[in-house]
Amino acid sequence: MKPVCVLGNGQLGRMLRQAGEPLGISVFPVGLDAEPEAVPYQQSVITAEIERWPETPLTKELARHNAFINRDIFPRLADRFPQKSLFDSLNLSTAPWALLDSPDQWPELFATLGDFLIVKRRTGGYDGRGQWRVRPGDEKDLPTEIYGECIVEQGIPFDSEVSVIGARSQSGESVFYPITHNLHQDGILRTSVAFPDANPVQQQQAQSMLSAVMNELGYVGVMAMECFVVGDKLLINEIAPRVHNSGHWTQNGASISQFELHLRAILNLPMPAPEVFSPAVMVNLIGTEVNNDWLNLPLVHLHWYDKEVRPVRKVGHLNLTHTDCLKLKDSLDSLIPMLPNEYKSGIEWAKTKLDWYSRQ
């Protein structure tokens, strides 16, 4: 098997490395501190776990490498302007938007997009950073340096948020996981829930939208598409040309995880559609120290990233999966007192999703 080099060495690179291990695929996440001699980049296939990576002589080498899969697609998706333009050109529904170049635009923006707007940095934002919620009057408090650097979007009064994760092979075939239901708080993903059999209409809609994007780009590998659900319609929020936080449940809830699927795609290995046998819940650990008590619960899979714990930083996640929703809910109930209070609402939300599923 060819080795794989990953631009970036955060948790996604770490989990790609873990997924490669059983298949005999050596994965080398490359961060700022990577030593070029330790990375066999000449013989490797190159991928990325982030849209923009720190520039070092080695990462520059990797970023222009011919074996960097999707190399020319990254710049188009790492900037919200070409990304949103792509949705428009494919006639895919997305939150109405405009480029934000000057403060003079505000009256017209409120008139055309409405009274609740979200300013987003074109590049570099994540976990809700680099965003401003703006209602009439708030615009004067915005930092002046954002003009020319941002887009502005209509605030969507969505019913809920979902994502779909798919992967496209080198021969152009795509496979998908069932839709994931996501709860974000303050712009950061807290909890995801997925079921083996998603709503077929929503699933079909999501797959055809993501397929349109992947086919247009000639993309290879795992791509995630985040959507707002409004009635029976999906609006694309954003896409990510990589493995994605809302797909972490696949590590324990699917026959092939998103990390393994991505490696299979970029290495041109077989990629049958992953099987999902039971409901799965993922709880993001955000700024919370590890607690061995979680391991008393037999359904809990702890994925700890070994990062320094800081407020609002993703430091790990817990996956739980079981065919019996009651067992899953019991386990979630037992987790609540083992976590800080701010986890409670996200876990209760997951339980309501499981209740809804049990009633189907």
54 contributes a contact to ligand ATP by CB under 6 A:
no
Query: By CB under 6 A, which span of 2-10, 59-67, 118-126, 279-287 interacts with ligand ATP?
Result: 118-126
Where do we find the tokens 């923009």? 52
Closest chain position to Mg ion (CB): 226
Residue 184 contact among ligand ATP, Mg ion, none, beta carbon within 5 to 8 Å by kind? ligand ATP
Residue 147 contact among ligand ATP, Mg ion, none, beta carbon within 5 to 8 Å by kind? none
184 contributes a contact to ligand ATP by CB under 6 A:
yes
Known binding residue 122? Answer is: no
Dihedral of the CA atoms 137, 142, 145, 150 (nearest 10)? Answer: -80
Q: Could you tell me how many residues of this chain bind ligand ATP (CB under 6 A)?
A: 18
What's the CA gap between 256 and 262, in Å, rounded? 10
Nearer to ligand ATP (CB atom), residue 156 or residue 167: 156
Helices (H) and strands (E) counted in the chain, each on its own, are 10, 16
Integer angstrom CA distances of residue 167 from 130, 344, 349: 28, 33, 28
Q: Cβ 65 to Mg ion, closest distance in Å?
A: 28
Known binding residue 155? Answer is: yes
187 contributes a contact to ligand ATP by CB under 6 A:
yes
Please list every residue from 198 through 227 that binds ligand ATP, using CB under 6 A. 226
Known binding residue 61? Answer is: no
Please list every residue from 168 through 227 that binds Mg ion, using CB under 5 A. 226
Known binding residue 127? Answer is: yes
Q: Cβ 63 to ligand ATP, closest distance in Å?
A: 20
156 contributes a contact to ligand ATP by CB under 6 A:
yes
Known binding residue 120? Answer is: yes
Query: By CB under 6 A, which span of 8-16, 148-156, 262-270, 297-305 interacts with ligand ATP?
Result: 148-156
Choose, by CB under 6 A, the member of 46, 69, 95, 265 that binds ligand ATP.
95
CB-based contact 322:328 (threshold 8 Å): yes
Query: By CB under 6 A, which span of 38-46, 121-129, 263-271, 293-301 interacts with ligand ATP?
Result: 121-129
Query: By CB under 6 A, which span of 35-43, 155-163, 258-266, 321-329 interacts with ligand ATP?
Result: 155-163
What's the CA gap between 162 and 181, in Å, rounded? 4
DSSP per residue over 238-287, as a string? Answer: EEESS--GGGTTHHHHSSS-HHHHHHHHHTT---PPPP--S-EEEEEEES
Nearer to Mg ion (CB atom), residue 186 or residue 333: 186
Known binding residue 202? Answer is: no
Q: Cβ 61 to ligand ATP, closest distance in Å?
A: 27
Known binding residue 128? Answer is: yes
Write a three-state SS string for 280-337: EEEEEEECCCCCHHHHHCCCEEEEECCCCCCCCCEEEEEEEECCCHHHHHHHHHHHHH
149 contributes a contact to ligand ATP by CB under 6 A:
no
Q: Cβ 115 to ligand ATP, closest distance in Å?
A: 13
Q: Cβ 237 to Mg ion, closest distance in Å?
A: 6
Closest by CA to 94, choosing from 200, 244, 239, 243, is: 239
CB-based contact 253:278 (threshold 8 Å): yes
Choose, by CB under 6 A, the member of 10, 67, 105, 127 that binds ligand ATP.
127
CB-based contact 52:123 (threshold 8 Å): yes
51 contributes a contact to ligand ATP by CB under 6 A:
no
Q: Cβ 166 to ligand ATP, closest distance in Å?
A: 17
Write a three-state SS string for 83-120: HHHHHHHCCCCECCEEEECCHHHHHHHHHHHCCCEEEE
Count CA within 13 A, CB hemisphere, residue 200.
0
What's the CA gap between 192 and 319, in Å, rounded? 9
Handedness of CA 84, 8, 26, 14 (dihedral sign): negative
Tell me the binding residues for ATP.
80, 120, 125-131, 153-156, 161, 184, 237-238
Binding residues for Mg ion, rule: CB under 5 A, are: 226
